[in-house]
Amino acid sequence: MKIQSVEAIEVAAPADELSSPWSSTVVLVKVTTSSGAVGWGESPTTLMTHPVRSSVPEVARFYEGRELHDHGTGRREFERYSFYRYHSMEATSALSGVDIACHDLIGRELGTPISTLLGGRLRERVRAYSNGWYSDCIRPEEFASKARAMVRAGFTALKFDPFGDQYREISPQGLRAASERVAAVRRAVGPDVDLLIEYHGRFLPSAALRAGRELDQYSPRFMEEPMIPEYNDALAEFRQQVRTPVALGERLLTAAEFASYLRRGLVDILQPDITNSGGFSYGREIAGVAAAFGAPVAYHNAFGPVQTAATLQMDATLPTFFLQESFEASWPEWKRSLVRGYRIEKGHFEIPDGPGLGVEVDERQVERYRSDQMDPIGPEPPWVIAGTWVPRSVGRPKRGRRS
Please report, for the domain that includes residue 103, its CATH number.
Answer: 3.30.390.10
Whether residue 216 sits in one domain with residue 308: yes
Whether residue 167 sits in one domain with residue 227: yes
Identify whether 80 is part of a domain.
yes
For residues 167 and 192, the answer to whether their CB atoms sit within 8 Å is no
Cα separation of 308 and 328, whole Å? 9
**Taking the alpha carbons of 362, 367, 373, 379 in that order, is the dihedral positive or negative?**
negative
Name the H helices within 61-202: 71-81, 89-110, 114-117, 140-152, 172-189
Whether residue 154 sits in one domain with residue 87: no
Identify whether 228 is part of a domain.
yes
Strand 38-43, strand 25-33: pairing = antiparallel
Mean pLDDT calculated for residue range 236-250: 98
pLDDT of residue 400 exceeding 60, the answer is no
Whether residue 107 sits in one domain with residue 125: no
- Residue 310: its H or E element: helix 305-315
Q: What is the mean pLDDT of the chain?
A: 95
Cα separation of 7 and 186, whole Å? 46
Whether residue 21 sits in one domain with residue 61: yes
Strand 157-160, strand 194-198: pairing = parallel
Residue 110: Cβ within 10 Å count: 13
In the chain, the percentage of residues whose pLDDT exceeds 90 is: 88
Strand 324-326, strand 339-340: pairing = unpaired
For residues 32 and 102, the answer to whether their CB atoms sit within 8 Å is no
Binned at pLDDT 50, 70 and 90, residue 392 comes out as low
Q: What is the CATH number of the domain that holds 282?
A: 3.20.20.120
pLDDT of 398: 58
pLDDT of residue 358 exceeding 70, the answer is yes
Whether residue 321 sits in one domain with residue 187: yes
Cα separation of 116 and 313, whole Å? 9
Residue 168: Cβ within 10 Å count: 10
Cα separation of 166 and 264, whole Å? 29
Whether residue 270 sits in one domain with residue 169: yes
Whether residue 266 sits in one domain with residue 198: yes
Task: Mean pLDDT check: name the lowest of 11-20, 27-36, 265-274, 324-333.
Answer: 11-20
Identify whether 343 is part of a domain.
yes
Identify whether 403 is part of a domain.
no
Whether residue 331 sits in one domain with residue 196: yes
Residue positions counted in the chain: 403
Higher pLDDT among residues 94 and 396, named by residue: 94
Higher pLDDT among residues 403 and 337, named by residue: 337
Whether residue 227 sits in one domain with residue 185: yes
Task: Kindly report, residue by residue over 78-120, the tens digit of the pLDDT.
Answer: 999 999 888 999 999 999 999 999 999 999 999 999 999 999 9
Identify whether 400 is part of a domain.
no
Query: Is 348 assigned a catalytic role?
Result: no
Identify whether 129 is part of a domain.
yes
Cα separation of 46 and 93, whole Å? 12
pLDDT of 396: 53
Active-site residue (options: 50, 87, 300, 348): 300
Q: The domain containing residue 135 runs over which residues?
A: 116-357
pLDDT of 368: 96
Whether residue 123 sits in one domain with residue 141: yes
Whether residue 235 sits in one domain with residue 214: yes
Identify whether 399 is part of a domain.
no
**Per-residue burial over 221-231, b = 16 or more CB atoms within 10 Å of its CB, e = otherwise:** bbbbbbbbeeb
Cα separation of 21 and 378, whole Å? 8
The residues, any chain, with a CB within 8 Å of residue 238's CB and separated by 6 or more, are 205, 208, 209, 212, 226, 227, 246
Closest CA to 397 of 29, 383, 227: 383
Query: Is 50 assigned a catalytic role?
Result: no
Task: Kindly report, residue by residue over 367-390, the tens digit of the pLDDT.
Answer: 999 999 888 777 888 899 989 998
**Which residues on neighbouring strands pair with residue 29, listed in sequence order?**
8, 41
Identify whether 164 is part of a domain.
yes
Active-site residue (options: 50, 69, 200, 348): 200
First to last CA, the chain: 34
For residues 257 and 279, the answer to whether their CB atoms sit within 8 Å is no
For residues 73 and 66, the answer to whether their CB atoms sit within 8 Å is yes
Domain total for the chain?
A: 2
Task: Kindly report, residue by residue over 265-298, the tens digit of the pLDDT.
Answer: 999 999 999 999 999 999 999 999 999 999 999 9
SS3 222: strand
